[in-house]
Chains A and B, each alone.
Chain A
Amino acid sequence: MNSITSLLKKNLKQSSMVIALVLITLLFQVLTDGTLLKPLNITNLILQNSYILILAVGMVLVIITGHIDLSVGSVAAFVGAISAILMINMEMNPFLATIICLAVGALIGAWQGFWIAYVGIPAFIVTLAGMLLFRGLTLVVLQGQSIAPYPESFQKISNGFLPDFFGGTDIHILSIIIGVAVSLILIGLEIKGRNNQLRYNFEVGSKGLFYAKLVAIFAVVNTFTYVLATYKGLPNILVILFAIIVAYTFVMKKTIIGRHVYAVGGNLKAASLSGVQTKKVTFGVFVNMGVLAALSGLIFAARLNAATPRAGNLFELDAIAAVFIGGASAYGGVGTVVGAVIGGLVMGVMNNGMSILGLGIDWQQAIKGLVLLAAVAFDIINKKKS
């Protein structure tokens, strides 16, 4: 099984995170006597972590370009507050209000991106200012009060599930079908990719290993959707999340824009002398972060069914931690969307598992801190070895 070890070595960073996630999940599965992976709890896990995962996707781009964004929690709260004003106080159509809120997020991103990319103020300072500024504005907008409740259609973003057109009673049939379809598409892409590599005479892993991988993909995806289907089916938020992860992975891996983002973080001067419009890229990354922070704020508000002044508190730290646990480099140029999502899940599973065990928030924080340090230390020690 030489090929397995070499494969693992090659993808150690990526796979070590997956392995860590699996181990942590198993650990809590045992510790909680199987509560962790119950359909209800998995659904909860997704709902609880969706807004952090969305922030982490935006944050990984920011961190790849060599910056950081400390303001996302406050921005999420601020946009949540605006959405409450629009939908609850002004009774605006939820769809229209959502669009406006995302646009506000983009504007905030543009505001911060302008100072960072064009004026050259370090992102740490600009977004620290943003963190205070938008937290303050949230209080101003809400006048220190919570506003509730949201229209039902808006709550559906976070609390709704895909409808089942097939009228399954004990089991959500549409979810099963989606699971099968998604797994088949993934398998198709894997086969296509491998054939492409073979055509260009690239080195590929052994056939047996490849088939094992396909079977694993099929099994994991379908087990996951099956478990969800035995509860209420796929949550709406999971669909949004999945679309975001796929889209951003594609952009970062396959497109010129993605390549430019990595180049800016890898070596700003070299990228600029290669014709990359480094300021525009940096600006764009922050606008994008603003939009995703807004989306995260909306989802959080919908889940809570209220806009509150303390919403989004410390979200930025969870998102940043997720990105670094997911293997991004603090010096820029390195990181993946999938890694950030896995990092976010590691944190999410730990949060959830420790809560089920009845561990206090105090110990949860302390343990999460140690895990973050351990993950990054592992990464750096590993790099020094090679």
Chain B
Amino acid sequence: MKSESTILEMKSITKEFPGVKALDNVNLKVVEAEIHAICGENGAGKSTLMKVLSGVYPYGTYEGEILFKDQLCEFKDIKQSEDLGIVIIHQELALIPELSIAENIFLGNEQASKGVINWNETISKARELLIKVGLQESPNTLIKDIGVGKQQLVEIAKALSKNVKLLILDEPTAALNENDSENLLNLLMELRTQGMTSIIISHKLNEIKKVANSVTIIRDGQSIETIATADITEDRIINGMVGRSLTNRYPERQPNIGETFFEVKHWNTYHPIQSERQIVKDVNLHIKKGEIVGIAGLMGSGRTELAMSIFGKSYGKKTTGEVYKDGKQLDLSTVSKAIKEGIAYVSEDRKEYGLILMNDIKENISLASLNKIASKNVINDSKEYVVAEEYRTKMNIKTPSVNQTVGNLSGGNQQKVVLSKWMFSEPDLLILDEPTRGIDVGAKYEIYTIMNELASQGKGILVISSELPEIIGMCDRIYVMSEGQITGEVEKANATQEVLMKYMTNSRG
């Protein structure tokens, strides 16, 4: 660190939307050449604050002052903040899949004279930037041909091309696996030594601990405190975020495990398009009644594909293998058969695969079990309403009415709606794929509690998760997958991150 000069100061920022005060007198001070983390529950106001900073919400729509390098800023749009070197990378990447890396880097900032693009300059400049961010790809590679991790690096290269002084990253590692996250964080630390300042919004406390020099915690639209490097601990951050201490991040549970009731034998499936590629290789697993079983594995290890191919052949081609429930072989060739046999699958991507965002809560909850609220194919609206109300109360879905459109809910509440939908189908086996992704700490705890409750009712639960602490904290037994195979099976007592990591990176089981 060179000096302790303040690069950015946001003073008593207040931003109101009709009916809600999203930000209430927020203060933020960022020192030059530091990585400054912003933490807070979903809906606490982190993204709103960043939108105020980057000019998405123009000057005049909020109260308070922004000082960048001791200059008062009154941004009318993003362009103006970018001209000063403030660049924001949003959670949803803004890259165009069908264009090349170089074209994406200079999108909106084309290397051209008189409107004619100078391709040589574009490519050579792009190459320099790629070296800077440590990405070994040709600038001509199309974005759609590289993984999310590399795309994230392209975003950073794009920011660097704009002469960035202050880089804002909104949950940069949310969609990345451990390796890519590690890479990205290392890059940020390296850029810091070169004098770049970054603000990083993240839910992943261990990452914050690793890279951040200071953390500002926001809760309910107010800045609670800023903690310096030395004092950063996960507990401290959580305390600040939820306003109370969560002594235990995983609820207590007395497992009451019965007999094996669900078995998968010799399960194989192949990639739907590249039909030579085997995605799941001879997987055997079993689940006992009342047991919470985890599947750990890196992204791309075949976890989701395994679950979806079991759930009514929703994934893959040439799927083979047998599934038994209570000793009886099941026909799971379609999703509706799988649901009838008491299997439920909660997808990792609730917006794409779990919910109909334009429909209301009650229609989403009833969708997988319409037969239960209908007689002779005619839906009983009142029954549907009553059922939805029941789950709203039981699951603590925070909304004034079940007639609310699901798209308007926060991530945690949306996840509760998906869970309600599948609980209403009364499954014996509930497969949860990344059930707490992108959800704040408080809602995570609630979802863990629900999982425990279902297990105590004698249901089997299969959890897929990228967060090792979550798997270790919640599961009675853990399968580890790597390259489509199960490479290890670990009992709770022996489960440590090191053990799991070893199996996860083990290519030959």
Contact = CB atoms under 8 A, between A and B. Distances in A.
Given A272-B314, A275-B339, A257 B356 contact: no
A256 B335 contact: no
Interface in B158-197: none
A88 B378 CA distance: 42
Interface stretch (B223-231, B236-244, B280-288, B379-387): B379-387
A329 to B, nearest CB: 8
A228 B381 CA distance: 36
Given A266-B359, A273-B311, A275-B339, A256 B379 contact: yes
Nearest to B376: A255
Nearest to B367: A274
Nearest to A275: B336
Contacts of B381: 196, 254
Contact of B370 (A256, A272, A273, A334): A256
Given A263-B367, A271-B367, A200 B354 contact: no
A256 to B, nearest CB: 5
B354 A270 contact: yes
Interface string A268-298: 0111111111000000000000000000000
B378 A270 contact: no
A270 B355 contact: yes
Contacts of B385: 200, 202
Contact of A259 (B334, B335, B367): B367
A254 B378 contact: yes
B80 interface: no
A256 B371 contact: yes
B206 interface: no
Interface in A324-379: 333-334
B421 interface: yes
A270 B353 contact: yes
B386 to A, nearest CB: 7
B377 A256 contact: yes
Interface in A230-286: 254-257, 259-260, 262-263, 266-267, 269-277
B367 A276 contact: yes
Size category, A interface? 20 to 34
A291 to B, nearest CB: 19
Contact of B386 (A200, A267, A275): A200
Nearest to B355: A270
A255 B339 CA distance: 20
A282 B20 CA distance: 42
Nearest to B370: A256
B84 interface: no
B379 A254 contact: yes
B375 to A, nearest CB: 10
Contacts, number: 81
B400 to A, nearest CB: 11
Interface in B355-398: 355-359, 363, 366-368, 370-371, 374, 377-379, 381-382, 385-386
Contact of A257 (B311, B339, B377, B421): B377
Interface string A51-89: 000000000000000000000000000000000000000
Contacts of A256: 370-371, 374, 377-379
B352 interface: yes
Given A202-B385, A266-B356, A334-B358, A274 B378 contact: no
B345 interface: yes
B356 A270 contact: yes
A221 to B, nearest CB: 24
Interface string B335-353: 1101100000101000011
Contact of B352 (A200, A260, A263, A270): A270
Interface centre among B334, B353, B355, B366 (most CB of A within 10 A): B353
A196 B370 CA distance: 20
B353 A277 contact: no
Contacts of B368: 274-275
B356 A259 contact: no
Nearest to A329: B358
Contacts of A200: 382, 385-386
Interface centre among A196, A274, A277 (most CB of B within 10 A): A274
A89 to B, nearest CB: 42
Contact of A262 (B311, B338, B359): B359
Contacts of B356: 262-263, 266-267, 270-271, 333
Contacts of A196: 381-382
Contact of A255 (B334, B378, B386): B378
B83 to A, nearest CB: 28
Contact of B377 (A255, A266, A269, A276): A255
Contacts of A273: 311, 314, 335, 345, 347, 353-354
A292 to B, nearest CB: 20
A265 to B, nearest CB: 9
Nearest to A269: B353
Contacts of B339: 274-275
Nearest to A278: B335
A259 B379 contact: yes
Given A270-B356, A276-B336, 4 more contacts: A267-B356, A273-B353, A275-B339, A277-B334
Give the 8 A-B residue pairs with the shortest CB-CB distance, closest first. A266-B356, A275-B336, A274-B368, A267-B356, A275-B339, A256-B370, A274-B367, A275-B335
Interface of A: 196, 199-200, 202, 254-257, 259-260, 262-263, 266-267, 269-277, 333-334
Interface of B: 311-312, 314, 334-336, 338-339, 345, 347, 352-359, 363, 366-368, 370-371, 374, 377-379, 381-382, 385-386, 421
8 contacts: A254-B379, A254-B381, A263-B359, A263-B367, A266-B356, A270-B352, A275-B339, A276-B335
